[in-house]
Amino acid sequence: MDNLPSFAPIIPEIFVAGMACFILVVDVFLPDTWRDVTHWLSIATVAATAWLTFTMSENAPLLTFHDMFVNDQMGNVLKLFVYLMVVVTFVYARGYLRDRSLFKGEFYVLGLFGMLGMMVIISAHNFITIYLSLELLALCLFAMVAMDRDSPVGSEAAMKYFVLGAIASGTLLYGFSLLYGASGTLDLTTLGMHIAESSLLNIGIMLSLGFVIVGLCFELEAVPFHMWLPDVYEGATTPVTLYVGTLPKIAIFALFIRLLVEGLGGLKLEWHLILTVLSVLSMAVGSIVALMQTNLKRMLAYSNISHVGFILLGILAGTTEGYRAAMFYVITYVIMAAAAFGMIMLLARKGFEADRLEDFRGLNDRSPWFAWMMMFVMFGMAGVPPFVGFFAKLYVLRAVIDVHMVWIAVVAVIFAVISAWYYLKVIKLMYFDKPPEDAKPISCPLEMRWLLSANGIAVLALGILPGPLMALCAHVITF
C-alpha cells in the first residue's frame, strides 16, 4: 500500500475524463432540440474543474505517479487560463454551430478531451506523460478540424494537419528516445541533473536536442514548421480555428519550460542559438506574408506566426524575467486572438462566414460598439499603447535587451511596425468604408454579446493595468 501514488493532485484530470465520458453517453440519447443540455453540462464541467484545480493547488511543487506528474503553481495558473478560454470557445461557438447544423455533442466532447490533454501536458514531468498527453490533444484537434464532413476545404486541411502532425510527433518521440539512450532516464529533473553534472554534450545529445525542438516548434507553429497552419485556420470552422489557434499555445508554452528549462537547461547555449534563428524567421515570415492576405483567418494565421516569434524571444533570453515575459505574452495573445475569432463568429450567419477582410467594411455604421471591440483587438495585436499587446511586446524586448541582444530587439521592433499595417487595414475598413449593400443586422445569442464585449474590454483593461497579471506570472515562475 505504501507504493500507491497519491491521486489528490490529479483529481481535476480524473474529473474531466469522467465527465467527458458521461457527456458523451448522455449526448447519444438527447434529441437535437435538447442539445443545449450538452452545451451547459460541458461549461459546468469546466467550471467545476477550475474549482477543483484551485482547491488542490499547493505552494510547493508536488510530484506523484513516480514523479511523472507535477502539481505546481505555474501549472495551475496556466490550467485556469485554459479553462477560461475553453468556456469562451464554447459560448462563442453555440450560435455559429447551430446555424450550420453542426451543433452536436462531438464538438464539446472533443473539446473536453482536448482540454484534458492540455492539462496533462502542463503538468507532465516525464517523457512518457508528455508524449501520451500530446497524442491525446493531437487526436482531438485532428477530429475537430475534420468535423464538418461536407466541407472539402476542411477535409483537406485536416489531412494536411494529420500527416504533418504525425511526422512532428515521430520526430519528437525519436528525440526522446535519443535522450533516454544518452541519459538512461525518462524523468525531466534527473535528465537535467545528468546534463549539468556530466559531459553529455556529444553528437547524440545535439541530435536529440534538434529533434525535440523540431517537434516543439511544430506544436507552437514556428517557422519553418508552420506550413499547415494557414490551411487549417481557413479550412476549419471558426470555433475550431479559435480552439486550435489559442488553447494549445498555453500548454505548449508549459512544455517548453518543462523540457528546455527544467530538462535541458544545461544545453541553454545550444537551444538559445536555435530559438534565435526560429524567432527571427517567425517574425519575418508572419509579418510579411500576412500583408498579402485577403482572408482574415489566414491573416490571423500569419499574425499568429509573428506572435510566436515574440514568445520565443522571451524563452531564448534564458532568464527568469524572459520566461515570465513569455508567459505574459502567451496569456494576453490568447485573450486577443479569442476576441478576434469571436468577432468573425459575431458577423457570420447561415451561408455567410464573414472571414474576409472586406466583410468588416463599414462595421462602425452597423454596430459602433463592436467596431470599438474589434479596434481594441487590432490595436492590441499591433502593440499600440495603452492596449495589452504593447506591454506584452515591451516585456519580451526588455528581457532580450537585458541579456545584451539589442540587435534582435531592433529586428523585432521593425517587424512589429510592418505587422501594424495589416491590423490598421482592418480598422480602416471598419471606419472609413461603407458597409456592403447586402449587409444584414448582427444577430447572436445574448451571452455571446456580453462575453465578447468583456473579452474586448479586457484587451484595454489589461493594458491599463498590466501589473497584476505580470505579478502573477512573476509569482509562479521562479526558475
Give domain status of residue 22, yes or no.
yes
Predicted local distance difference test score (pLDDT) of residue 439: 67
The type of residue at 401 is I
Give domain status of residue 208, yes or no.
yes
Give domain status of residue 452, yes or no.
yes
For 63, the enclosing helix (H) or strand (E) is: strand 62-64
Residue-wise DSSP of 200-213: --SHHHHHHHHHHH
State how far the alpha carbon of 295 is from the alpha carbons of 20, 358, 371, in Å: 34, 9, 18
Cite the beta strand spans of 239-392 per DSSP E.
none
Is residue 148 within 8 A of residue 160, CB to CB? The reply is: no
pLDDT per position as a tens digit, 371-402: 999 999 999 999 998 999 999 999 999 999 99
Domain region containing 252: 8-476
Predicted local distance difference test score (pLDDT) of residue 1: 44
DSSP 432: H
Predicted local distance difference test score (pLDDT) of residue 223: 87
Give domain status of residue 231, yes or no.
yes
Predicted local distance difference test score (pLDDT) of residue 190: 86
Give domain status of residue 207, yes or no.
yes
Give domain status of residue 3, yes or no.
no
Burial class (CB in 10 A: 0-12, 13-18, 19+), 276: middle
Give domain status of residue 419, yes or no.
yes
Contacts of 219 (CB under 8 A, 6+ apart): 134, 168, 248, 252, 255
Dist. CA 377–CA 288, nearest whole Å: 20
Predicted local distance difference test score (pLDDT) of residue 320: 92
Dist. CA 216–CA 214, nearest whole Å: 6
The type of residue at 225 is F
Handedness of CA 342, 344, 345, 347 (dihedral sign): positive
Rounded to 5°, angle at Cα 69 from 1 and 82:
135
State how far the alpha carbon of 198 is from the alpha carbons of 61, 182, 207, 267, 456, in Å: 26, 11, 17, 12, 50
Number of domains in the chain: 1
Give domain status of residue 421, yes or no.
yes
Predicted local distance difference test score (pLDDT) of residue 4: 56
State how far the alpha carbon of 201 is from the alpha carbons of 95, 98, 167, 222, in Å: 54, 55, 26, 26
Predicted local distance difference test score (pLDDT) of residue 199: 57
Rounded to 5°, angle at Cα 28 from 242 and 135:
45
The one-digit pLDDT tens for each residue of the chain (479 residues) are 446 567 778 899 999 999 999 999 999 998 888 888 999 999 999 999 999 999 888 777 888 888 888 888 999 999 999 999 999 999 999 988 888 888 888 999 999 999 999 999 999 999 999 999 999 999 999 999 988 888 888 888 889 899 888 988 999 999 999 888 888 888 888 888 888 776 555 777 888 888 999 999 988 888 888 888 889 998 889 999 999 999 999 999 999 999 998 888 888 888 889 999 999 999 999 999 998 888 999 999 999 999 999 999 999 988 999 999 999 999 999 999 999 999 999 888 777 787 888 888 888 888 889 999 999 999 999 999 899 999 999 999 999 999 999 999 999 999 999 999 999 999 999 999 888 776 677 777 788 889 999 999 999 999 999 999 999 999 998 87
